[in-house]
Structure 1
Amino acid sequence: MKSKTKGLPHIYALVFIFMVIMALLTWVLPSGQYTRKDVTIGSSTKSVPVDGTYAQMDKIGEDGKDVRQGLFGLFVAPTEGVQKSADVVAFVLIVGGAFQIINSTGAIMTGMKAIVRKLGKFNILVIPISMILFGLGGTTFGMAEELLPFYMIFIPLLFSMGYDSMTTFLVVFLGSSVGVMASTVNPFSVIIAQGIAGIVGNPQLGFRCVQFIILEALAILFTVLYARRVKKNPESSITFATDMEWKKELVEQDAGKTDGTMTNRQKLVIVIFTVCFIIIIYNLVVNGWYMDEMCAVFLMMGIFSGIAGGLSMNEMACEFVNGMKDFVYAGLIIGISRGILCIAENGMIIDTILYSLVSVLRSVPLWFYTTAMYLVEVVFSIFVPTTSGVAALTMPVLAPLTEFLGFNPEGAVTCYQYACKLTLMLSPAAPVTVAGIAMCRLTFQQWWKTIWKFVLLMLAVTIGFAIISSRLPM
């Protein structure tokens, strides 16, 4: 169709550009390492740097291995990234296949039509209610890859209500991301950071709950205002052209599958779907489930739903393959984007970046320290696009430094959790972000153009929260 497009490159091209830049940095920046020690947080162990132990190292080691990443290292990185993200990629593909089996029964679409009919003129309430639930998932257990199935549910639902694909991305992704940003008991963000920093318990939990309420309310207000504008004038949507084509596809897929009345088989599919999700959420929070366990339940969900929906074994297999096709785009970009970090690790420049940024922090004026620490975390999150990875690298150094300067070390945790997630919301190197954008058929240019004002608001508010956190009594 369109042979030429203006603006940012395709997501895959953008990730490759980031990998090229990172490979070049391995030639420009000195290589170096901190001495590391293992720290146990809950049931997991993290290797963290020890402050004051950084030492530069030669680019070519005694074994003759050159850590600088050349052309071959650049093209090996995507494969290495996919291998290191194998559990997530497998999760995405299995979820895609399982959901296609469920979708082929017509239960989801019929159920959504019933919801829209019952809500009537109040159907916009779907947005705040859903965002609150996603936000709670983010603030409690760091809902991230678990979001992918919900895009496939909310896209046809919100289309049928007169909204666009960007509204879907805002409801699902922004709702959860703000929850992760304002983490209260999220083990992959605030808890792991406090554990590495040596902070016992969660001393600012009350304050963190207040932050979550304020930030999630702002996110809901922003999304509702955007959705109302799109519904009032559909052509004002930044995704209007692509959404028109997508809506045609959904109509064709739905043709003949449902007349709007839910059958007993479809009701049974909805029951299976609901029970399986309750099982997943409960075990995520209580038993620390991760990809393997969730994959198993999603696979059971798909097979049992197919049986309940009256599909034959061959029909389920064909639908499973078709579903995986739709998720390959999102699954592979998760793995390939991990290659950016692989290049930095192989070139041994991560610790050099950390050492340089901490050296700058030690010399800034005290009144500016918290804001400077926030900005340092932003920079570091660009190079290490995972919340737990940034925590493991920065907290052992920044938390003691913050306390040494007379501030509450919780301020370092607060800076980290906001700066890291806010950066990952915008970064083409962040796997969950690029996967969600791919699922909603958006471009980064469309996402940035939509969200930039909200990001500036979040930046100002969260820096304020970080300043308060660092100055509260210890």
Structure 2
Amino acid sequence: MSQQQPHSRTGANVTRRGWFREFPDPMVLIFMVLVAVYLLTFIIPAGEFARELVDGRSRVISGSFQLITETAPLHVFELFLAIPQGMINAAPFLFIVFIAGGLFHVLQSTGALENLVGVAANKVGAGNSIRSRNLIIVLGTFIYGFFGVAVGGENNIALVPVGVLIASAIGCSRLVGVTMAVGGIGIGFALSPISPYTVGVAQSIGELPLFSGWELRILMVLASLAMLSAYLCLRVVKLEFHDDQPVEMSKSLHEYRLSRQDLIILGIFLTGLVTLVTGVFTHGWYIKEITAIFLMMAIVIGFAAGMSAHQLVKRMMEGAASVTSGALVIGLAASIPVILQDAQIIDTIVKSLSSIMEGMPVALAAVVTSIIQGVINLFIPSGSAQALITMPILIPLADLIGMSRQLMVSAFQIGDGLTNLFIPTAGGILAMLALGRVSYAQWLPVIVPIMVPIYALCWVMMVAAAYLGY
């Protein structure tokens, strides 16, 4: 059966260019951002809001901002101290990347996952036509989007390598699979109408019924996933992608079969995922517990496949080694908030940006709010933490300018969520890229072009919602 070959470039086809004409290595790019943030600490004065505990959570007291005059500039040595501190702070993300990398190397070495993807792709006729390929891409994007809506962001990290295998089965590059998986999950989570981490926290601060106003968010997430699907089918599948470790199906699609051992291994994997999702929703599990589940899955799958302890450890180490560079990028990115916290300028940035909206028309203020929240997200990459810091300021502001609290929550969600797909401080997305073995430098030129129309779409919907009394 003929199949399309993955779009890739070999070393012979790559034209060498001067460093100044190439996109920076992700480590260089993030270090440049770190230095720029360090220089900002000499320009932006230190300041802070007073905070109070409400239901066990720290909230900003509106109108309590004060400048801090008794602070010394950060020494240049603290710039470099922030890097190991950032890696310490990001340890949960680093370890989940290492353990997940080991898990999927063990799983892939059994052949069960490849057999499943091969059988499924053959059933729907992948490789027979561009239409079949595009159908799989669209379905995959919406399925990943559903997981982002229902389960969250980092909780779906285990599903990223599956997207790479699916892309390989339909003759596409690793880049297509990672964009389908990470883009779908990221958009689903960013615009989720039922996210407890962003919408839930923001609406509780705004004293709104939990997950109310879901209609607008459903429209935004469906339309955005449709745009991502079209972009994948029309553009990303045609992009050249240099892959040092290309994933290729080992045989023709019609040759794939699922053995009894394959079904047992896939059953173990599925049971682990169900356990993970149940724990997230019923016990509040997060990165640490998810990492433990991944480790347990790897051990059980390895023994089910007949591996010895020595073979299992070897494959776990090989998998972890393959994602080391991506894990280090996460650690370096985590040093950026360290500099901001040490200089005590986060609250000053929040206060300055939020004050820009005073006196604006409601529709324009909603759009500007999303932009401001996106800027803040670079410095506070946690959606729930950002809600706790900014919503006590934005909710009273919404009341003053005549904006509904529901619209303010939506503006916050768009700004906070969508920027996670391309900012260097979003540890969860960087972890997914690391597991998919697509570098941050390779990711940016692909994801940014589609984010522009997705933002525009969400802004148009928000403006329309403002005039319709949402």
TM-score, structure 1 length as denominator? Answer: 0.87
Aligned to 2:409: 413
Show the 5 A alignment for 1:37-52. 37-40=52-55, 45-52=56-63
Aligned to 2:122: 117
**Aligned with 1:95 (options 97, 100, 104):** 100
Q: Does 1:16 align with 2:40?
A: no
Query: 2:193·2:199 contact (CA, 8 Å) conserved in 1?
Result: yes
**Aligned with 1:31 (options 37, 46, 50):** 46
**Aligned with 2:350 (options 351, 354, 357):** 354
Query: 1:39·1:47 contact (CA, 8 Å) conserved in 2?
Result: yes
Question: More displaced, 419-428 or 310-319?
Answer: 419-428
- Quote how far apart the aligned CAs of 1:206 are: 2.8
- Quote how far apart the aligned CAs of 1:470 are: 4.5
Separation in structure 1 between the aligned mates of residue 143 and residue 322 of structure 2, nearest angstrom:
26
**Aligned with 2:138 (options 125, 128, 133):** 128
**Aligned with 2:77 (options 68, 72, 93):** 72
**Aligned with 2:147 (options 137, 143, 166):** 137
Question: More displaced, 464-473 or 421-430?
Answer: 464-473
- Quote how far apart the aligned CAs of 1:461 are: 1.4
3-state SS in 1 of match to 2:356: helix
Show the 5 A alignment for 1:62-461. 66=72, 68-120=73-125, 121=128, 122-142=132-152, 144-226=153-235, 230=237, 236-239=238-241, 242-243=242-243, 245-247=244-246, 260-366=256-362, 368-444=364-440, 446-461=442-457
Separation in structure 2 between the aligned mates of residue 221 and residue 100 of structure 1, nearest angstrom:
31
Q: How large is the Cα RMSD of the aligned pairs?
A: 2.4
Q: What is the percent sequence identity of the aligned residues?
A: 24
Cα deviation 1:104-153 (Å, max 9, x = unaligned): 212112222222222223354332222222212222332x2234333322
Query: 2:330·2:431 contact (CA, 8 Å) conserved in 1?
Result: yes
3-state SS in 1 of match to 2:54: strand
Cα deviation 1:246-271 (Å, max 9, x = unaligned): 33x767xx69xxx8444332221111
- Quote how far apart the aligned CAs of 1:446 are: 4.3
3-state SS in 1 of match to 2:59: strand
Query: 1:378·1:419 contact (CA, 8 Å) conserved in 2?
Result: yes
Separation in structure 1 between the aligned mates of residue 296 and residue 30 of structure 2, nearest angstrom:
34
Number of residue pairs matched? 447
- Quote how far apart the aligned CAs of 1:467 are: 2.9
Q: Structure 2: 5+ residue runs without aligned partners?
A: 1-10
3-state SS in 2 of match to 1:28: coil
Question: More displaced, 169-178 or 451-460?
Answer: 451-460
Query: 2:104·2:319 contact (CA, 8 Å) conserved in 1?
Result: yes
Query: 1:31·1:349 contact (CA, 8 Å) conserved in 2?
Result: yes
Separation in structure 1 between the aligned mates of residue 74 and residue 98 of structure 2, nearest angstrom:
31
Query: 1:273·1:305 contact (CA, 8 Å) conserved in 2?
Result: yes
TM-score, structure 2 length as denominator? Answer: 0.88
Aligned to 1:463: 459
Matched residue type, 2:148: G
Cα deviation 1:45-95 (Å, max 9, x = unaligned): 4322111100001252xxxxx3x3332211111221222222222222112
Separation in structure 2 between the aligned mates of residue 46 and residue 472 of structure 1, nearest angstrom:
34
Separation in structure 2 between the aligned mates of residue 202 and residue 157 of structure 1, nearest angstrom:
33
- Quote how far apart the aligned CAs of 1:412 are: 1.3
Separation in structure 2 between the aligned mates of residue 173 and residue 315 of structure 1, nearest angstrom:
30
